[in-house]
Amino acid sequence: MKKIITLLALSLILIGCKNEKDSRDKGSSEETAERMTEKEGQTQSDSTTIQITPISHATGVFKWGKTIFYTDPVGGSEVFEGQPTPDFILITDIHGDHMNAETLQSLEIGDKKIFVPKAVQEKLPDELQNNLVTINNGETKNHMGFSIKAIPMYNLPQSMDAMHVKGRGNGYVLEKNGKRLYISGDTEDIPEMRNLKDIDVAIVSMNLPYTMPVDQAAEGVLAFKPKKVIPYHYRGKNGFSDTEKFKKLVNEGDSNIEVELMDWYPEK
**Three-class DSSP labels, 163-188:** CCCCCCEEEEEEEECCEEEEECCCCC
DSSP 3-state of 31: helix
Provide the whole-model pTM: 0.81
The Cα 139–Cα 58 span in angstroms is 22
Q: For 211-259, what is each residue's pLDDT tens digit?
A: 999 999 999 999 999 999 999 999 999 899 999 999 999 999 999 999 9
pLDDT > 70: what percent of the chain? 81
The Cα 163–Cα 62 span in angstroms is 27
Q: Does the pLDDT value for residue 69 go beyond 80?
A: yes
Q: For 4-31, what is each residue's pLDDT tens digit?
A: 434 434 444 444 444 444 444 444 434 4
pLDDT at residue number 48: 55
pLDDT at residue number 268: 62
Nearest to 154 by CA among 189, 123, 119, 199: 189
Q: Does the pLDDT value for residue 34 go beyond 80?
A: no
Are residues 224 and 180 in contact, defined by beta-carbon separation less than 8 angstroms? no
pLDDT at residue number 44: 33
Q: Taking residues 37-44, what's their average pLDDT?
A: 35
What are the domain boundaries of the chain? 1-47, 49-259
Are residues 146 and 176 in contact, defined by beta-carbon separation less than 8 angstroms? yes
**What mean pLDDT is reported for the chain?**
86
Domain 49-259 adopts which CATH fold? Metallo-beta-lactamase; Chain A (3.60.15)
Q: Taking residues 38-60, what's their average pLDDT?
A: 68
Q: For 70-93, what is each residue's pLDDT tens digit?
A: 999 999 999 999 999 999 999 999
Q: For 131-176, what is each residue's pLDDT tens digit?
A: 999 999 999 999 999 999 999 999 997 777 678 899 999 999 999 9
Are residues 212 and 185 in contact, defined by beta-carbon separation less than 8 angstroms? no
The Cα 233–Cα 264 span in angstroms is 8
pLDDT at residue number 144: 97
DSSP 3-state of 68: strand
Q: Where would I find the beta strands (DSSP E) of 91-161?
A: 113-116, 132-134, 140-143, 146-153
Q: Taking residues 41-62, what's their average pLDDT?
A: 75
